Amino acid sequence: MAENVTKIPVKIQEKAASVPSTTQAWAPFLSLRREMDRLFDDFGRGFGQFPTRSSVFDVEPFWGREMTWEAAPAVDIAESEKAYELTAELPRMDEKNIEVKVANGNLIIKGEKQEEKEETKKDYYMRERNLGSFERRFEMPEGVDADKIEASFKKGVLTLTLPKKAEAQKPAKKIEVKAA
């Protein structure tokens, strides 16, 4: 019995001036804060709490948060002799809501989920909406043939195959180490 596998088009964009994302723009400040926190942690051992020290419950601003599973699904990456393969589980999503593109040497996966559930019974009415989107960017390794990247979506799993160029598939040459 043949199973349905849907092919997703991979868009390739020409290089354009890169605009840093909001998270990238604030990254130096977050890095500075973490380094200062580490400095005060080292300096203040045994002296009590410092006002600048972050706790387990400390909340970073929305632009500095680590992405959660809901915001950015986990991706498994495997390398074979001929290609790289990325696999992402995207439950409750349709292939029409997933976009894969290559731009400025990056592989970009975007998705948007829009679920709406409505239930009417004799004594109640319920309506729920579940909206969300994500974007993952991966810097492509050298030797990937960007024109031959394939994307497929089957049963909530996105699989991307990034074939290597012929010169990148050559086996490694072993060099013998001689005693001096």
pLDDT at 66: 43
Predicted model pTM: 0.55
145 belongs to a structural domain: yes
Return the closest-CA partner of residue 158 out of 106, 54, 88, 99: 88
Indicate if the pLDDT at residue 132 is higher than 70.
yes
Q: Looking at residue 21, what is its pLDDT?
A: 57
pLDDT of residue 138: 87
Q: What is the pLDDT of residue 87?
A: 93
pLDDT digits (tens, 9 = 90+) for 53-73: 444 444 444 444 444 445 578
> Does residue 31 sit within a domain?
yes
For residue 115, being part of any structural domain is answered with yes
What does the chain look like in DSSP terms, one character per residue? -PPP-EEE-EEE---------HHHHHHHHHHHHHHHHHHHHHHTTTS---TT---TT----GGGSPP-TTTS--EEEEE-SSEEEEEEE-TT--GGGEEEEEETTEEEEEEEEEEEEEEE-SS-EEEEEEEEEEEEEEEPPTTB-GGG-EEEEETTEEEEEEEBPGGGGSPPPP------
The CATH number given to whatever domain includes residue 137 is 2.60.40.790
For residue 156, the enclosing domain spans 7-168
Nearest to 164 by CA among 75, 80, 83: 83
pLDDT above 90: percentage of residues in the chain: 10
Q: Which residue did the predictor score with more confidence, 51 or 149?
A: 149
Is there a domain that residue 113 lies in?
Answer: yes
173 occurs within a structural domain: no
Q: How many structural domains does the chain have?
A: 1
23 pLDDT tier (thresholds 50, 70, 90): low
The one-letter amino acid code at 133 reads S
Q: Is residue 176 assigned to a domain?
A: no
Q: What is the pLDDT, as a whole number, of residue 161?
A: 92
* CA–CA gap between residue 163 and residue 84 (Å, rounded): 6
Residue 177 lies in a domain: no
Q: Measuring CA to CA, how many Å separate 103 from each of 15, 16, 71? A: 6, 8, 21
Across the beta sheet with 75-79, what order do the strands follow? 6-8, 150-154, 157-163, 83-89, 75-79
pLDDT at site 48: 47
Chain segment 68-106, per-residue pLDDT in tens: 445 578 888 888 888 899 999 888 888 888 999 998 888
What does pLDDT average to over the chain?
76
Does residue 76 belong to any structural domain of this protein? yes
